[in-house]
A and B are shown apart, each in its own frame.
Chain A
Amino acid sequence: MNVTVHYFAILRDRTRVDSETVATESVDPLGLWHELERKHGFGLDPVHFSVAVNDEFSEWSHALFDGDTVVFLPPVSGG
């Protein structure tokens, strides 16, 4: 299946792309993270991140489907 990943903040700095569409066998965002970690070498620990799927806060174990959009969220620092 194909999923689209958007990168923000430190992840955009590390990947040097705003977004990408990935052909993946990962069944959840955690698997996808590790797959993309191997590709980009984030050098970051996912324990500090949260995840959104299709523009909603989600879980690392959320089942992914073809066409989903995934965002890994660094610790927020707005205000």
Chain B
Amino acid sequence: MTDSVNFSLSTDDLDTSSLQALLRDPYCGGFASFEGWVRDHHEGKPVLRLAYDAYPALCVKEGTRILMQAVEKFGVHKAAAVHRVGPLEIGGVAVWIGVSSAHRREALAACEWIIDEIKISLPVWKKEFFADGTHEWVRCDACAQGHDHGDTHAHHHEGHSHG
């Protein structure tokens, strides 16, 4: 099963056509991919650039687990994902996910499931640099001591949609 999945972190820009080529297979009639792009705004504030930090050893373990679970759950042939670390400019590809399978439906479903899982559990952190000169670790605005904890979970998925 491990030959069918490939998760990695990259400090370099992603070459998405090369990544796609790795999933090509005569068995497969469908390929689905998702790219997360760096956008120029967050909750109404202009964003100039961002940087990702990651916990490499646990990222590879958790990313591989997610991909293996997707192959098992959806019956797809191959699944791969790469997450960028380090600084990124607006428009840069932050994350790439690709899935190939005999038929399209399971490839599309697996691709969506993988990005959802990555957002929930992959130990990666995004720091946004705003046009007003400030910066912040996304989703850690409530981390400071004494902050009201009440709305932490309500913000879980806000502000991270792409496309």
A interface residues (Cβ-Cβ under 8 A, vs B) = 6, 8-10, 12-13, 43-45, 47-49, 52, 55-57, 71, 73-79
* Docked pose: A10 CA to B83 CA in angstroms: 19
A39–chain B nearest beta-carbon distance, Å: 15
The residues of B that contact A78 with a CB separation of less than 8 Å are: 52, 54, 83, 95, 118-119, 122-126
Q: Per DSSP, are chain A's interface residues mostly helix, strand or loop, or mixed?
A: mixed
A75 vs B121: C-alpha distance when bound (angstroms):
9
A6 to B62, alpha carbons, bound, how many Å? 18
Interface size class of B (residues with CB under 8 A): 35 or more
Q: Which 7 A-B pairs have the closest CB atoms?
A: A78-B124, A9-B125, A77-B138, A75-B139, A55-B57, A77-B126, A79-B119
Known: A8-B53, A55-B57, A55-B58. A75 touches B123 (CB 8 A): no
In the assembled complex, the CB of B152 is this many whole angstroms from the nearest CB of chain A, namely 7
Tell me, in angstroms, the Cα distance from A52 to B57 when the chains sit together: 11
